[in-house]
Amino acid sequence: MDIERTLQPATRPWTGDAPTPVTRVILEQGSIWGRWGNRIAWTVAGLSLLTALASLGASAQYFQNEAKVVEKYHSLARFAPAKVAVVNISGAIMGGQGFARWQLDRIADDESVKAVVLRVDSPGGTVSGSDEIHHRLANIARERNLPVVVSMGGIAASGGYYVAMANGGRDDVIFAEPATLTGSIGVIIPHFDLSRLMKKLDVEDDSIASGPLKQMLSPTKDRSPELAAKERKILQGLVDDMFVRFKEIVKQGRPKLADDQIEKVATGQIFTAKQALEAGLVDRLGFLEDAIDRAVELAGLTKETARVVKYSRPRGLLEDVLGDTDPGARLSFEAFAEMTTPRAWYLCSWWPALISAR
For 181: left if phi > 0, alpha if psi spans -120 to 50, otherwise beta; the answer is beta
Furthest-apart CA atoms within the chain: distance in Å: 133
214 is catalytic: yes
Query: Cα 38 from chain centroid?
Result: 49
Give the closest residue to 294 by CA, choosing from 77, 116, 149.
Answer: 149
Are 52 and 312 spatial neighbours (Cβ–Cβ below 8 Å)?
no
Secondary structure class of 90 (helix, strand, coil): strand
158 is catalytic: yes
The contacts of residue 80 (CB under 8 Å, 6+ apart) are 304, 305, 306, 307
3-state SS record for 202-222 = CCCCCCCCCCHHHHCCCCCCC
Catalytic choice (199, 214, 264, 274): 214
Residue 260 CA to residue 262 CA, distance in Å, equals 5
Are 207 and 215 spatial neighbours (Cβ–Cβ below 8 Å)?
yes
Residue 221 CA to residue 198 CA, distance in Å, equals 9
Catalytic choice (122, 130, 151, 158): 158
Secondary structure class of 62 (helix, strand, coil): coil
Long-range contacts of 328-334 (CB under 8 A, 24+ apart): 328/356, 328/357, 328/358
Secondary structure class of 21 (helix, strand, coil): strand
Residues marked as catalytic: 158, 214
